[in-house]
Amino acid sequence: MLKFIKGHMETIEGIEIYPIISLLIFFLFFVGLFWWVFTAKKDYVEKVSQIPLENQNDNEL
């Protein structure tokens, strides 16, 4: 099956750029995510972490 797919992909011009673009998007997404995590304010993280508990308490009343 892989030979079948590889054979067709070899005939497409310019296809070698797609894995590079995919890796670049993947890398930039996680770099951005790490940057956001390390620069997030503690107040915001605490506030967001309490949201599921607040909704659970409202349903119990």
According to the model, what pLDDT value does residue 1 have?
Answer: 63
At 16 the three-state DSSP class reads coil
Residues 6+ apart with CB under 8 A from 15: 9
Instruction: Report the pLDDT value the prediction gives residue 50, as an integer from 0 to 100.
Output: 86
Amino acid residing at 7: G
First to last CA, the chain: 58
Q: 10-42: per-residue pLDDT in tens?
A: 788 888 899 999 999 999 999 999 999 999 898
pLDDT score of 55 more than 60: yes
Residue 60 has pLDDT above 70, yes or no: no
43 touches 50 (CB < 8 A) = no
The reported pLDDT for the residue numbered 57 is: 58
pLDDT at 35: 95
